[in-house]
Amino acid sequence: MTSVTPEEEEGLLVPPSPEYARRQNIVAAIIPLAVGVIAGIMSWNLGIGTLSNPGPGLWPLAVSVAMVVTAAVLALRSGPTGEEETFTREALIVVVAAVSLLGYAFLFERIGFEIPTVALLVLWLKGLGREGWRMTAIISLGSTAALYLLFVTGLGVSLPHILPF
Amino acid sequence: MDFFSPVIAGFGVVFQPENLFYCLLGVTLGMLVGVLPGLGPAATIAILLPVTYNIEPTAAIIMLAGIFYGAQYGGTITSVLLRLPGEASSVVTAIDGHEMARQGRAGSALGIAAIGSFIGGTVAVLALTFVAPLVAGFALDFGPAEYTALALLGILLVSTLGTGSTTKSILMATIGLLLAAIGQDPLAGTSRLTFGSDQLLDGIDFVIVAMGLFGVGEILYSLESLRGKSAPAPSVGSVYPSRKDISESKGAITRGSLVGFVLGILPGGGATMSSMVAYAVEKKAAKHPEKFGKGAIQGVAGPETANNAAATSSFIPLLTLGIPANATMAIMFGALLLQGITPGPLLVQEKPDLFWGVVNSMYIGNVLLLAMSLPLIGIFVRILRIRAAILAPLTILITMIGVYTVRMNVFDMYLMVGLGIVGYLMKKVGFEPGPLVLAFVLGSLLESSFRRSMRLFDGQLTGFFGQPIAATLLVAILLIITVPPLTRLLRTSRRKAEA
């Protein structure tokens, strides 16, 4: 990745084209619509009962129906609202960040909190934030120690760890 | 003197060194997040929820409350100096505040905002002291029917009065209700929508939803502009407003206190809306409305007073009815639940120490904030230079480790990151997480009181109209749903007739 030029940076603020916004709005309405339909079917199968003696599925079914109806209204009124934002190349950073967080959770209990914490800090500071090496080293080691002090010493919770404490 | 003895005892609670410390910590953190754009008070409180779990309840709520109203002070600084509102509630302040800064009057703008905030906050606490016990007393007789209507009204008002599109907000609210329905059926114990997972049997913890959508979601969103340079710290000048500034702002501060207090109590009101209404009120009341947008000091004093008054008064519905009025209060609700305290009308009687301790801490907090925003403002201006690239990884780690400590469960980390991704996507396509979180919080109350009412009324929906308070609230709901589309229809048909 190259560094972002001022023009590119300004380019981030350009609102999406109407077609892009419309497409985005339709997708954003269809996903909850689908979730609502699935949740509705699952609730139905749980048993509805009656209003005076409701089954476990009645409440989630009512909520699912409301969800499907509002999502359908949104899908039909998909015109641009000015609230949409384009997914630019910068969104890749978010993908990397999200994956790194899942990786962090994966390693956390397996190898203790120390190594994943330092690794995540290095990745975010150096890889995503383009800080210098010196800054990265100081902050990642310093904050791992600070987090240890906050949670283990300060709040007395035990975290999975490899260093004896 | 029955009324005042618990109030005075509450001051005893505040002046315990531990509580004073957490009050100071809270308002300082609030100032900080207010100054730093990107992380709002809702996100900060959400992120700190697991940390508060290990603190004594009164101290925890005092600290979280401090973050909330402290952020209203801090948000002003970036609005005025950089035209970058740190908080949504300071957006309107940027209009005239930044204009004043450009004319070299940044200090006056910040000073009057701090003084206005202090007065607004203090007036609201005073009013809260008298109003809250009355509301709580009134609500003692509420049964399931009233709570069904009240919860429904709260969700609807937040959806309709919020900043975004109403349909989108209602969709968010339904998603929140659906997420709340995951887990065991509250009455029968059958597992619902868990996909056979034992982890979901107890339902999704509110802390995870709040931390995911607000905390992780906002951090992920801020990553897109991660590499932006830090802002240069601008010069401020004297922050002590002149006598002329004060005499020009007197009216604005009085009106702002009133507007803020009233709108703060209403569900869906809160700090953001009241600051906008206060700006409009000032513009209407001004002798020289043409000065607005060109550095009118009333345009700073009014909204800044109002957002602080509202931040304080929005505690009333939470602490007296157990109904949060906005997203931040929803998270505060979660914080109380986490401590094993159910906010509601009984809180004043059963936990007077907590109730009056928290309320009275706001007086102290406002004094502390005034001290921080006048003599110490230079320090906070310098904090503007901390780069997002450094802040983001630190906050995310506190969030990740924090959510783990609630149940010592890695599954919660995955769930929170998943919700964080959803929160990021929602922001990108223009959906507000507020109504979702609020509906999630009220979901179980709404369901259980609805089902209990249905049993009482033998399955007849019309039974609600037999209860005067519930019926009134339901009529209000009907009006909220039907009036705006009807007026829109009327207006378009009239326009067509004119054309």
For residue range B314-347, list pLDDT tens digits in order. 999 899 988 888 888 888 988 898 888 888 888 8
Query: 28-47 in B: which are within 8 Å (CB) of A?
Result: none
For residue range B108-162, list pLDDT tens digits in order. 888 899 899 999 999 999 999 889 988 888 888 888 898 898 888 888 877 776 6
pLDDT of residue B309: 93
Tokens of B381: 């201006």
Interface test mutation site (partner A, options B29, B174, B192, max chain A beta carbons within 10 A): B174
Q: In this structure, what DSSP letter does residue A5 have? A: P
Q: Which of A76-90, B296-310, B360-374 has the lowest mean pLDDT?
A: A76-90
Q: Let me know: does B423 contact B220? Beta carbons within 8 Å.
A: yes
* DSSP string for B224-280: TTTTPPPPPPPP----S--HHHHHHHHHHHHHHHHHHHHHHHSTT-HHHHHHHHHHH
Closest residue, chain A, to B424 (C-alpha): A94
Q: Which of B95-99, B103-107, B158-162 has the lowest mean pLDDT?
A: B158-162
The rounded percent of chain B whose pLDDT value lies above 90 is 23
Provide the β-strand partners of residue A49. Answer: A54
A contacts of B223 (beta carbons < 8 Å): 90, 93-94, 97, 128
Contact between chains at A85 and B428 (C-beta distance less than 8 A):
yes
Contact between chains at B165 and A83 (C-beta distance less than 8 A):
yes
Contact between chains at A147 and B405 (C-beta distance less than 8 A):
no
pLDDT of residue B338: 84
* Residue of A42, A125, A135 with shortest CB distance to B193: A42
* Residue of B178, B188, B392 with shortest CB distance to A60: B178
Is the minimum CB–CB distance between B450 and chain A shorter than 8 Å? yes
For residue range B432-447, list pLDDT tens digits in order. 888 898 899 888 889 9
A contacts of B397 (beta carbons < 8 Å): 117, 120-121, 143, 147
Name the amino acid, one letter, at B201.
Answer: L
Average pLDDT value over all residues in chain B: 85
pTM of the complete model: 0.83
Helix (H, G, I), strand (E, B) or coil at B385: coil
Give, in order, the Cα–Cα distances in Å from A136 to each of A15, A133, A151, B282: 34, 5, 22, 48
Is the minimum CB–CB distance between A78 and chain B shorter than 8 Å? no
pLDDT of residue A42: 93
Q: Let me know: does B38 contact B218? Beta carbons within 8 Å.
A: yes
ipTM entry: 0.88
pLDDT of residue B38: 64
Query: 44-103 in B: which are within 8 Å (CB) of A?
Result: 51, 54
Tokens of B492: 């378009």
Is the minimum CB–CB distance between B227 and chain A shorter than 8 Å? yes
pLDDT of residue B1: 47
Q: Which of A144-158, B258-272, B376-390, B422-436 has the highest mean pLDDT?
A: B422-436
Q: What is the mean pLDDT of residues B176-194?
A: 87
Contact between chains at A84 and B429 (C-beta distance less than 8 A):
yes
The whole-angstrom separation of Cα B277 and Cα B92 is 10
Residues of chain A with pLDDT under 70: 1-14, 164-165
pLDDT of residue B118: 92
pLDDT of residue B481: 75
Give residue B226's pLDDT band: very low, low, confident or very high (50, 70, 90): low
Residue contacts between A and B (CB atoms, under 8 Å)? 191
Closest residue, chain A, to B219 (C-alpha): A94
Is the minimum CB–CB distance between A5 and chain B shorter than 8 Å? no
Closest residue, chain A, to B172 (C-alpha): A67
Q: Let me know: does A155 contact B54? Beta carbons within 8 Å.
A: yes
Q: What is the mean pLDDT of residues B376-399?
A: 81
Contact between chains at A159 and B404 (C-beta distance less than 8 A):
yes
B contacts of A53 (beta carbons < 8 Å): 455, 459
Contact between chains at A4 and B227 (C-beta distance less than 8 A):
yes
The whole-angstrom separation of Cα B75 and Cα B68 is 11
- Residue in the block written with tokens 């209602």: B170
pLDDT of residue B496: 74
φ/ψ (deg, to 5) at B428: -65, -35
